[in-house]
Amino acid sequence: MNWLLIFIPVAFGLEHEHAAPTITFATSALAILPLAALMGKATEALAHYLGPHFGGMLCGSMGNAPELIIGIAALNHGLIDMLKSSIAGAIIGNLLFGLGLSMFAGGIKRGTQSFDGRVISIHSALLVLGTLSLIVPSVFHVAADTDRELSLHISVTLLIIYAAGILHILLNERAAVTDSHQSVIDDVALEQRRAADIEGVPGLSLDRVADLEEKPAWGRNTALAVLACVASTLAMLSDILTGSVQPAADAMHLNPVFAGVFLLALIGNIPEYLNAYTFARKDQMTLALSINLGATTQLVLLVAPVLVICGAAMELDMNLLFNNFELVAILLSVTVTRTLIANNRTTWFEGLLLMGLYTVLGFGFYYLPKS
Amino acid sequence: MNWLLIFIPVAFGLEHEHAAPTITFATSALAILPLAALMGKATEALAHYLGPHFGGMLCGSMGNAPELIIGIAALNHGLIDMLKSSIAGAIIGNLLFGLGLSMFAGGIKRGTQSFDGRVISIHSALLVLGTLSLIVPSVFHVAADTDRELSLHISVTLLIIYAAGILHILLNERAAVTDSHQSVIDDVALEQRRAADIEGVPGLSLDRVADLEEKPAWGRNTALAVLACVASTLAMLSDILTGSVQPAADAMHLNPVFAGVFLLALIGNIPEYLNAYTFARKDQMTLALSINLGATTQLVLLVAPVLVICGAAMELDMNLLFNNFELVAILLSVTVTRTLIANNRTTWFEGLLLMGLYTVLGFGFYYLPKS
Amino acid sequence: MNWLLIFIPVAFGLEHEHAAPTITFATSALAILPLAALMGKATEALAHYLGPHFGGMLCGSMGNAPELIIGIAALNHGLIDMLKSSIAGAIIGNLLFGLGLSMFAGGIKRGTQSFDGRVISIHSALLVLGTLSLIVPSVFHVAADTDRELSLHISVTLLIIYAAGILHILLNERAAVTDSHQSVIDDVALEQRRAADIEGVPGLSLDRVADLEEKPAWGRNTALAVLACVASTLAMLSDILTGSVQPAADAMHLNPVFAGVFLLALIGNIPEYLNAYTFARKDQMTLALSINLGATTQLVLLVAPVLVICGAAMELDMNLLFNNFELVAILLSVTVTRTLIANNRTTWFEGLLLMGLYTVLGFGFYYLPKS
């Protein structure tokens, strides 16, 4: 994917030349993809030197850094409604498109695939709780003057729940380590339990932890330097991206909700979809599902609340109010995903069903009025 | 049930004499029942000569032919709202009344009954996906001029999903046949897998497939002749039925939504309810459930989309917009049914619960205003 | 808890002196707690003399007597909206706060706890059916003149379902007793089945049945006298409580919906929460969950319908219409609870999640406008 880095100077050049917004948008979106992947790699290298506990936490919390950076850039441009649409769109896209693609591609190659239901049921529960909390402000929206306060209070509650989730996993991991001193005979069982426990952290996916035990590609100082470099480039590109999304949508005759839900939402998440896709083709569905559901949970419990708090700090009118279409689409996505994974097996046909619902929702959003 | 055929000439006579609409409606409804049963029998005989693959597909696709014929007759009379009510009512009636009656009657005779959860979970998942897709146009209804386009696009998507489901089962069935050449020692396991695979086709119920292996009642030409005869009689009766339903509802002081959801919806489905009832009394709950859920899934993925496309071809204002009451009733029915069958066991009390909710919804629809 | 009885004379004194409503409300609430506990104890003693069948039924039906008495007092004061808010609040509070606290406290002490999923799935199914029936009148609310009729009809249907549930358990219990004469070798299995059957009665919790087999604290006549005494005191205190709740809410600048959902709702249920809490700490999660879910089911299938019928008898405009916020909060509570208990295990973190959603909803209700 590194060859896509060529788009970085192109994006800056187009921006400087005031090129057509559609071109600028597409170029900056393409340039962001390899940066998001590099950021993940640098974080993992850094995590190696921090040890499993704090390293795991870092990986978990940095996984959605590209979304956060893009989100803050959108706040800077005052694109509040489009930012909220992109949060909704990321939930829908992760669950229907990302998961559907993994299940479809894995199923085509491997037939019916199974996964560890105990691991996934934790993600699934957190996801339901998080998304349902997220829609509370929209439901209780009665007087515009309390929307911001309500959203702020709920954001803080969600962050506390996220922190408790991190604590939950640190305690469990420590218990698992202590257990391992006592006996080594039930190694397999222990391994499974550790795996399950680690999975329990929203957004902390097994693959990253596995990577922690390998020799990282970079030394500590190199990793820090790469991270700083990538983050600042990402911030500048996000500025170009979010500055061009509205004119690009207008040029393509798309309504802004569609642009937020189906264009802006996908950009930060494509590396994760590719990751999950790769694991699905390798028949590692537990991993593929937990990357996807973990990222979605974290989006809800960490990214969205942090953006609300940032918005309040920037004295913007940022809140957690979604429009009815976004609300229903979020609820449908969560319901259908939970239903299809309830039997601990996936098939290409179930993947197709998820992508089918994504298409159906796409038609719905596409035909929304422009104004 | 064949003695009900006597009502066919009676219905034509009443129609000719311009009898009271309530009587005409009731008579034509009674006359349709044995025809729907005969149609199923002729389709099965024909399927025998087509071989298991295409025969199974034929059975699956013809199972809802009576609903389709009645639906087209309703379109002909311009009864678009009542047709949509009857689609909603068929979903609600299948899940709450049909399934509830099976579970109640089976449970009274046999105590707690169990079924094969793997088979039913596929139906259950398809049902959730289908019904949720069906309600998308209602949710995205904002500007009346795009309702028809949106409904058309979603209908085509649902038909593609239905076709993929058929493909899914054909591939699995072929795989099962290939496997059987390799070994015959795990015959039972294979049989179970085949059963599960066959069940996977929406609307293709085991009983019909089992019948394929018996000698059919009719030869191929007889079956074709019976099918042609029955279908044309059914079309004429449906015309009488749908022509009298609105005046009959007025005469009985019923609002049109109630008439659609609770009268028109039940007529095409009573043979299926009797079928499922019979299997439930024989303690074959997997079969009873899969007939019922399969018919409901097919209604959503095949009948409703085809009616939307027919409506568009007839240049009518047909779409998939349901009113709020129908939407909520559909969602409640699907939710409660899924909840009650989640533990893979059924009791008479659970059947009573489903019929109880049907009663509760019946009161709700009954008290809707007339206009 | 008996030392709280001291608040009974204090509450009567404050009422007589026209003290500040906040103080009167708090004092009468505190005085009701030990009375509710005493009532449970007297009912259990009385049940001992009635034998297991009718004793169990008595316990089951009297478990929510305090809520009923408070509810009738609220009807007497014409506090219909607040009464409905408190019904909604009791459902939300039971599921999110009561259950969350049990799971949290049990999990902190005992780690991951498991429970018998077969027992709980029955409660869970009844709960879903009951709550969904309860919201039907709100959905079908179109013309104010039929709300009362619709609510009455649905209330009667819910009571019939409740009665069928009682019949269901009596039949199963009799079958279990007959079985025990035939063989004693599978004693453990039988015991488990009996336990499961007994649990099947909505609101009839195992602990009470277990108590039936011990020598009760009081003789029959003493128990009857205590019951009469407690019930009449409770009725008088409920009058003071409901008379002071509106002025107290005003004095604390709380909107009436918040007061109903979060203050009035909790008072009658605190003894049950303490009960469930105690069992959770003893690692008896099946019992803790079934007390909680049983009480909630009974609230929906018995208490709410009886209050609607009482309201109609008192010629009040009592119905089952909830506002949108209450509806959504009920649906969210039921959905999240079902999701978290689906894997038959509970942890402190899941308890925290439930209490987190309770907090999120609390913020929502708190910010509702006063009028």
> Among A10-14, A118-122, B25-29, C93-97, which stretch is predicted with the lowest mean pLDDT?
A118-122
pLDDT band at C121 (very low <50, low <70, confident <90, very high): confident
A285-312 pLDDT tens trace: 888 888 888 888 889 999 999 999 999 9
Cβ-based burial of C2 (10 A; exposed 0-12, middle 13-18, buried ≥19): exposed
Whose structure tokens read 């689409």? Answer: A329
3-state secondary structure chain B: CHHHHHHHHHHHHHHHCCCCHHHHHHHHHHHHHHHHHHHHHHHHHHHHHHHHHHHHHHHHHHCCHHHHHHHHHHHHCCCHHHHHHHHHHHHHHHHHHHHHHHHHHHHHHHCCEECCHHHHHHHHHHHHHHHHHHHHHHHCCCCHHHHHHHHHHHHHHHHHHHHHHHHHHHHHHHHHHHHHHHCCCCHHHHHHHHHHHHHCCCCCCHHHHHHHHCCCCCCHHHHHHHHHHHHHHHHHHHHHHHHHHHHHHHHCCCCHHHHHHHHHHHHCCHHHHHHHHHHHHCCCHHHHHHHHHHHHHHHHHHHHHHHHHHHHHCCCCCCCCCCHHHHHHHHHHHHHHHHHHCCCEECHHHHHHHHHHHHHHHHHHHCCCCC
Residues from B contacting A (CB-CB < 8 Å) are 117-118, 121, 124-126, 128-129, 132-133, 136-137, 139-140, 142-143, 146, 149-150, 153-154, 157-158, 160-161, 164-165, 168, 338
Q: What is the pLDDT of residue B57?
A: 67
CB B346 within 8 A of CB B115: yes
pLDDT band at C29 (very low <50, low <70, confident <90, very high): very high
Could you tell me which residue, B138 or C181, shows the higher pLDDT?
B138
Q: Which residue range forms the structural domain that includes residue C96?
A: 56-217+254-366
Residue A101 has pLDDT above 90, yes or no: yes
Inter-chain contact A136–C360, Cβ cutoff 8 Å?
A: yes
**Interaxial angle between packed helices B147-182 and B304-313, expressed in degrees from 0 to 180 and rounded to the nearest 10:** 140
Residue B103 has pLDDT above 80, yes or no: yes
pLDDT band at B178 (very low <50, low <70, confident <90, very high): low
Q: What is the pLDDT of residue A213?
A: 53
For residue C32, being part of any structural domain is answered with: no
Q: Across the interface, which of B335, B350, B363 has its CB nearest the CB of C153?
A: B363
For residue A2, being part of any structural domain is answered with: no
For residue A249, being part of any structural domain is answered with: no
Residue B185 has pLDDT above 50, yes or no: no
Could you tell me which residue, A279 or B118, shows the higher pLDDT?
A279
Alpha-carbon distance of B349 to C202, in angstroms, equals 12
Inter-chain contact C360–A157, Cβ cutoff 8 Å?
A: yes
Provide φ and ψ at B113, rounded to 5°: -115, 145
Residue A176 has pLDDT above 60, yes or no: no
B312-329 pLDDT tens trace: 999 888 888 898 889 989
CB A55 within 8 A of CB A35: no
Overall average pLDDT of the B28-43 stretch: 87
Q: What is the pLDDT of residue C271?
A: 79
Alpha-carbon distance of C46 to C55, in angstroms, equals 7
Alpha-carbon distance of B370 to A46, in angstroms, equals 69
Could you tell me how many CB contacts below 8 A there are between chain B and chain C? 73
Q: What is the pLDDT of residue C90?
A: 93
Q: What is the pLDDT of residue C247?
A: 92
Q: Across the interface, which of A325, A340, A352 has its CB nearest the CB of B125?
A: A340
B272-307 pLDDT tens trace: 888 888 889 988 888 888 888 888 888 999 999 999
For residue B349, being part of any structural domain is answered with: yes
Total domains present in chain C: 1
pLDDT band at A98 (very low <50, low <70, confident <90, very high): very high
CB A347 within 8 A of CB A103: yes
pLDDT band at B192 (very low <50, low <70, confident <90, very high): very low
CB A292 within 8 A of CB A96: no
Question: Please, what is the Cα angle at C29 between C26 and C32, to 5 degrees?
Answer: 150
Q: Which residues of C touch A136 (CB under 8 A)?
A: 332, 360-361, 363-364
- CB neighbours of residue C144 within 10 Å: 10
pLDDT band at C40 (very low <50, low <70, confident <90, very high): confident
Q: What is the pLDDT of residue C181?
A: 44
- CB neighbours of residue C116 within 10 Å: 17
Q: What is the pLDDT of residue A41?
A: 83
Q: What is the pLDDT of residue C206?
A: 40
Residue A48 has pLDDT above 60, yes or no: yes
Give chains near C: 3+ CB pairs under 8 A: A, B
Inter-chain contact B150–A367, Cβ cutoff 8 Å?
A: yes
Residue A126 has pLDDT above 50, yes or no: yes
State the ipTM, two decimals.
0.80
Share of chain A above pLDDT 90, in %: 36
For residue C71, being part of any structural domain is answered with: yes
The residues with which A345 forms a beta bridge, in sequence order, are A114
Residues contacting residue B182 through CB under 8 Å, at least 6 positions apart: none
Pairing, β B345-346 against β A113-114: unpaired
Share of chain B above pLDDT 90, in %: 37
Closest CA to A328 of A293, A287, A289, A360: A360
CB C297 within 8 A of CB C202: yes
For residue A22, being part of any structural domain is answered with: no
Two tokens, residue A97: 């498109």
Residue C117 has pLDDT above 50, yes or no: yes
Residues contacting residue B100 through CB under 8 Å, at least 6 positions apart: B351, B352, B353, B354, B355, B358
Alpha-carbon distance of C55 to C60, in angstroms, equals 8
For residue A29, being part of any structural domain is answered with: no
The residues with which C114 forms a beta bridge, in sequence order, are C345
Closest CA–CA distance from residue A341 to any residue of chain B (Å):
9
Q: Which residues of B touch A328 (CB under 8 A)?
A: 139
pLDDT band at B98 (very low <50, low <70, confident <90, very high): very high
Q: What is the pLDDT of residue C308?
A: 94
Q: What is the pLDDT of residue A197?
A: 42
> Among C53-67, C132-146, C337-351, which stretch is predicted with the lowest mean pLDDT?
C53-67
Segment (H or E) for A345: strand A345-346
pLDDT band at C195 (very low <50, low <70, confident <90, very high): very low
Q: Across the interface, which of A125, A136, A168 has its CB nearest the CB of C339?
A: A125
pLDDT band at B111 (very low <50, low <70, confident <90, very high): confident
Alpha-carbon distance of C272 to C295, in angstroms, equals 8
Share of chain B above pLDDT 70, in %: 85
For residue B32, being part of any structural domain is answered with: no
- A296: helix, strand or coil: helix
- A315: helix, strand or coil: coil
Q: Across the interface, which of C328, C349, C357 has its CB nearest the CB of A168?
A: C349
In whole angstroms, how far apart are CA C65 and each of B103, B325, C95?
33, 34, 19
Overall average pLDDT of the C280-298 stretch: 87
The residues with which A346 forms a beta bridge, in sequence order, are A113
Alpha-carbon distance of C6 to C17, in angstroms, equals 17
Two tokens, residue B272: 């299926």
Residue B41 has pLDDT above 80, yes or no: yes
Closest CA–CA distance from residue B369 to any residue of chain A (Å):
27
Closest CA to A135 of A83, A72, A84, A66: A84
In whole angstroms, how far apart are CA B273 and each of A256, B86, B99, B268, C265?
48, 16, 8, 10, 43
Residue B110 has pLDDT above 90, yes or no: no
Segment (H or E) for C338: helix C324-340
| pTM: predicted TM-score of the whole model, two decimal places | 0.83
Provide φ and ψ at A184, rounded to 5°: -120, 5
Q: What is the CATH number of the domain that holds B258?
A: 1.20.1420.30
Segment (H or E) for A88: helix A80-92
- C318: helix, strand or coil: coil
pLDDT band at A43 (very low <50, low <70, confident <90, very high): confident
Overall average pLDDT of the C21-29 stretch: 93
Alpha-carbon distance of C247 to B285, in angstroms, equals 57
